[in-house]
């Protein structure tokens, strides 16, 4: 298998590091963190999309793959329609997935 799953896992860990100690208010006030987190979401979505093509049964064991890929597509192709509040909520909710992927909490 290629390094695709590891790219997604590293991106999830980066999101945890970028947002450590932040609440939704702090996230929405920090444009640099938003840009970094959104880029990592793009990487995670693309990594999972490629994984699903390369090894569907393995990808099927990962929770919410279709939703994560769809979110990546929305960020890239429909960015203007993604409200900042929604992006903040998704970023905060992503901690559950990244904890599952890494086995660690963001704390």
Q: What is the pLDDT along the chain (107 residues), one digit of tens a residue?
A: 556 667 888 999 999 999 999 988 898 899 899 899 989 999 999 999 999 999 999 889 888 899 989 888 888 887 666 665 555 556 555 555 555 444 554 44
User: In degrees, to the nearest 5, what angle opens at C-alpha 27 toward C-alphas 21 and 31?
Assistant: 130
Please enumerate, as own/partner, the contacts of 9-14 that have beta carbons within 8 Å and a separation of 24 or more: 9/101, 9/102, 11/40, 11/41, 11/43, 11/44, 11/47, 12/40, 12/44, 12/94, 12/97, 12/98, 12/101, 12/102, 13/98, 13/102, 13/104, 14/40
Is residue 69 one of the residues assigned to a domain? yes
Is residue 107 one of the residues assigned to a domain? no
Is residue 85 one of the residues assigned to a domain? yes
Range of the domain at 43: 4-102
What was the pLDDT predicted at 48? 92
Q: How many domains does the chain have?
A: 1
What was the pLDDT predicted at 106? 46
Is residue 83 one of the residues assigned to a domain? yes
What was the pLDDT predicted at 45? 92
Is residue 32 one of the residues assigned to a domain? yes
What was the pLDDT predicted at 8? 85
Distance from C-alpha of 47 to C-alpha of 45, rounded to nearest angstrom: 5
CB 10 within 8 A of CB 98: no
pTM of the predicted protein model:
0.71
What was the pLDDT predicted at 63? 87
């Amino acid at each position: 298998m290629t390094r695709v799953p590891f790219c997604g896992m590293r991106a999830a860990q980066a999101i945890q590091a970028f947002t450590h100690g932040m609440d939704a208010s702090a996230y929405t006030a920090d444009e640099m963190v938003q840009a970094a987190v959104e880029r990592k979401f793009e990487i995670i979505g693309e990594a999972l999309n490629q994984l699903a093509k390369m090894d569907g049964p393995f990808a099927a064991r990962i929770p919410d793959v279709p939703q994560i890929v769809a979110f990546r597509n929305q960020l890239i192709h429909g960015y203007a329609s993604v409200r900042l509040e929604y992006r903040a909520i998704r970023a905060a909710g992503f901690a559950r997935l990244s904890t599952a992927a890494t086995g660690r909490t963001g704390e």
